[in-house]
Structure 1
């Protein structure tokens, strides 16, 4: 009897675990909001309007949200108890591997009554038409992208403005999202010249351009990387073992709009920079790499990717831009949901490796890191500037106190508003491995403690390593 009772208990526990896993896997946007268990709890957890996160209430009008094209919908933004925007949108699912998660991220355009693109200001951001609702899911802290974008702006490098919000779709609660600006050329975003199709010679041809190193997706013309949508580096990435290439994709002008002359110009410019960087005289300030790039932007980009040990850093979601008659600049940064110790592959979870040495650890990965970062660190002048910048930032925007204060502010907002609790009731992922978690906390507090401890360990390691370069 004792054995039978034990078996019944074990089977019961097993079925409970299976049920919870299936519940997590099968969560969908059609699920209704999860009500509090009783009226007493409703009264005790009533959130004052001023403490609530902004709410994006989306109505699809029966149109399914898919990954292209953007389908018509309407939405309302409520701040406190006040509707701050009401209008039309075109909305689609966005992301690559994150599309496998049940909690979806969305890209959307604001539109007018005729369904034409319409520049508007949302939550106080500069007017634009292209926006993102990013869905933190495998990042159970909910904070990683918010933190790194804020830090980037704090050190003087533009990054998408971000704000925590909650989202409903057809009255079904979807959880905590980060409302963000889409990266694009705009006076309030990537502030470079609007290069037109008829600007194909002289100074006009020199900018502005936005390039990125990333996976192919969306309307990139043709299959994979090709002459229409990208150009390849002439220098192989270090340690690559399968003939991998670095491909630079045309972001603005995009593959559909860029002219042959513009392609030739930007391809040659990047090629000249790489040739200078690879040359024996690469340290010469007049003829070496510094003649082609804004060194300060490269240093800040390096610091942000290394601070977070971004496992995708330098090789995916990597933007760069060049304005008219200006040098090539790195950034803005993008997509750090797997950073700060949130990846269990290629040492993405550790605090004591260089992110730029990814190729040494994972030489067979299809997407490799360009040779740029290893080569730049062979220039004593570059290293000297890096050390000076790191020391300056560690005494200000990147001090332990400054970073941890931001984390405290975020968590206070999420907890006071009840949004964190609402999110994990909708998506019960705490205590469950979600690819590619390096750490699985049983509670939200454990996830936050892990992130805090990871950052402190990383800063300590960075201090010693940069000093020793």
Structure 2
């Protein structure tokens, strides 16, 4: 069927060209033929016959501009065999509009419609992955796993808008990877081949359409990883010096102590000195451990060690995590999924009032997000009393059973929420009312399009990504504490993340055999996670989660390599840390194993994650 479809296309193009030639072309001359078609880039786009197959409209290439309806008409010599050449489209003015790709292409002998599908077909042939356009189309259909009788050409119009956004992202990523600024054939082809693989995860093989609720966000973040971009920074170890006023100790989590901060890069070059700050303790169970975590508030916003500028910083001690890496692994997974506002962090060796305290993890946690939300809150009409239908509040909130925030509430289903951004009792009451309404929406199974209804309130893709990071690592704290989500404008939906607090995850917890073992689903056991569990009743949500897992699973070898390289980069730093804190052969709450060396701890983490990912591969479709 598909071979016949391709042959009929070729015949139609040949007959059209012959008819035009017989009529003498646009000018009535027998020396020219007319090529007509459509382009999805819209009015003003330049379309040319790419005679040297470089995906560029070079000087001398026959060309024309698309009209207001995206139609184009090019006159070429009758002697030119257009079936052997590409048609290439460049955006008007040479710069693509937001969400549009920088290039589109098609084989003139295959189709004169310039869209992303035909660009993928053309790239398959240019890369020699397929002998001709017909074979390339068949390969794409097979990669997408389409059922017999499903025509990708017929269903493509529904995919094109998402594919355009994703192709643009793919081309930009391929340029970044290659270090070039242009749109060469190699860049566009590489981007297109990656996009084929990425799209295949989100297309429903039975219909030839995107999975319900799948958007450009999933596809464009997928394609960056598929291209092989380095999404996780191997942590060099820097040096940090903190001197408090009068040498005062940090005694608790409530009282600030004035301090000056100095930073040296891993190369020994001074990055900052005499930064004014206030320091206090932080953490819950971790504050009770010998190696204390800290919270820093700089006197003025600053970007530390290349991270985004901010005032609030966290020093994680990672005392119970003898790899010193689990939090960084969680951040790596979140970055692989493209989760917004994933905390940045750097490893530092901390000297406090002249005393060496070991290796810490310096992070800006949610500071960047909080700054953005604070700016939104200052706009007129935001965070003001309004009917529920016009709810306009922005906030960062956290599920936290400890409820140690100034403003907090429990919903009607007893989920404990603590406000994390500046708030007051009036806003807290408004937010509580909105969450109770959200829970009513989630519990209403009578709605025909339940997923569509829920997606008006929750960014479902963020929930899926958040759930996968926590499920993969079996994070003991998820839906108990440190479970963040936020609402910002203009989107106005609840977004899950950023991820945080994974030091006793990934097999580093012996409180139950279930949480320690790499097998078994974990999130369904969490009561406060019923939002996720009730959505798992919906087939479309399960399919989308399965598609997203397939992408993350495809990246697990790279994540494992990151863990290996990150551990090696610590080198002498981790040795000094465990000389200061000689616990490698001691049990520390809630360790699942005591292995005696940093190398063995890292190997345990890597093996645990490999087995966990393998189990999820085998069971994700259940």
Q: 1:309 aligns with which of 470, 474, 493?
A: 474
- Any idea what the Cα deviations from partners look like across 1:153-176, whole Å, max 9, x if unmatched? 221103110111100111111111
Q: 1:95 aligns with which of 278, 283, 292?
A: 283
Q: 2:567 aligns with which of 389, 394, 411?
A: 411
1:426 deviates by: 0.5
Distance (whole Å) between structure 2 residues aligned to residue 456 and residue 153 of structure 1: 19
Distance (whole Å) between structure 2 residues aligned to residue 444 and residue 148 of structure 1: 19
Which residue is equivalent to 2:293?
Answer: 105
Which residue is equivalent to 2:358?
Answer: 175
Residues 282, 94 of structure 1: CA spacing in aligned structure 2 closer, same or farther, 3 A cutoff? Answer: farther
Which residue is equivalent to 1:457?
Answer: 611
Which residue is equivalent to 2:269?
Answer: 82
Distance (whole Å) between structure 2 residues aligned to residue 140 and residue 197 of structure 1: 49
Contact 1:213 1:317 in 2 (8 A): yes
Mapping of residues 222-301 of structure 1, within 5 Å: 229-235=407-413, 245-254=414-423, 258=424, 260=426, 262-281=427-446, 284-285=449-450, 288-301=453-466
Determine whether 1:441 maps to 2:606: no
Which residue is equivalent to 2:399?
Answer: 213
Higher alpha-carbon Rg: 2
Distance (whole Å) between structure 2 residues aligned to residue 328 and residue 69 of structure 1: 33
Aligned length: 378
Distance (whole Å) between structure 2 residues aligned to residue 386 and residue 283 of structure 1: 21
Distance (whole Å) between structure 1 residues aligned to residue 337 and residue 451 of structure 2: 27
Contact 2:370 2:396 in 1 (8 A): no
Mapping of residues 344-359 of structure 1, within 5 Å: 344-346=510-512, 347-359=514-526
User: Larger deviation: 276-285 or 184-193?
Assistant: 184-193
Which residue is equivalent to 1:338?
Answer: 504
Which residue is equivalent to 1:59?
Answer: 243
Query: 3-state SS of the aligned residue for 1:206?
Result: coil
Query: 3-state SS of the aligned residue for 1:467?
Result: coil
Distance (whole Å) between structure 2 residues aligned to residue 354 and residue 150 of structure 1: 22
Residues 230, 146 of structure 1: CA spacing in aligned structure 2 closer, same or farther, 3 A cutoff? Answer: same
User: Larger deviation: 420-429 or 322-331?
Assistant: 322-331
Residues 232, 249 of structure 1: CA spacing in aligned structure 2 closer, same or farther, 3 A cutoff? Answer: same
Instruction: Answer 1 or 2: which has greater helix percent.
Output: 2
- Which residues of structure 2 form unaligned runs of 5+? 1-234
Distance (whole Å) between structure 2 residues aligned to residue 320 and residue 120 of structure 1: 25
- Any idea what the Cα deviations from partners look like across 1:425-464, whole Å, max 9, x if unmatched? 0000001100000111111111111101100110011111
Which residue is equivalent to 2:159?
Answer: none
Distance (whole Å) between structure 2 residues aligned to residue 287 and residue 300 of structure 1: 18
1:90 deviates by: 0.4
1:282 deviates by: 5.6
Higher relative contact order (CA 8 A, sep 6+): 1
TM-score using structure 1 length = 0.76
Query: 3-state SS of the aligned residue for 1:54?
Result: strand
Which residue is equivalent to 1:430?
Answer: 584
Distance (whole Å) between structure 2 residues aligned to residue 142 and residue 421 of structure 1: 12
Which residue is equivalent to 1:152?
Answer: 334
Q: 1:388 aligns with which of 534, 547, 551?
A: 547
1:383 deviates by: 0.5
Distance (whole Å) between structure 2 residues aligned to residue 143 and residue 192 of structure 1: 33
Distance (whole Å) between structure 1 residues aligned to residue 542 and residue 358 of structure 2: 44
Query: Over aligned residues, Cα RMSD in angstroms?
Result: 2.3
Contact 2:307 2:345 in 1 (8 A): no
- Which residues of structure 1 form unaligned runs of 5+? 1-50, 112-117, 222-228, 236-244, 360-367
Distance (whole Å) between structure 2 residues aligned to residue 188 and residue 153 of structure 1: 20
Distance (whole Å) between structure 1 residues aligned to residue 315 and residue 337 of structure 2: 25
TM-score using structure 2 length = 0.58
Distance (whole Å) between structure 2 residues aligned to residue 192 and residue 285 of structure 1: 33
- Any idea what the Cα deviations from partners look like across 1:16-72, whole Å, max 9, x if unmatched? xxxxxxxxxxxxxxxxxxxxxxxxxxxxxxxxxxx9721111112321212221111
Residues 316, 52 of structure 1: CA spacing in aligned structure 2 closer, same or farther, 3 A cutoff? Answer: closer
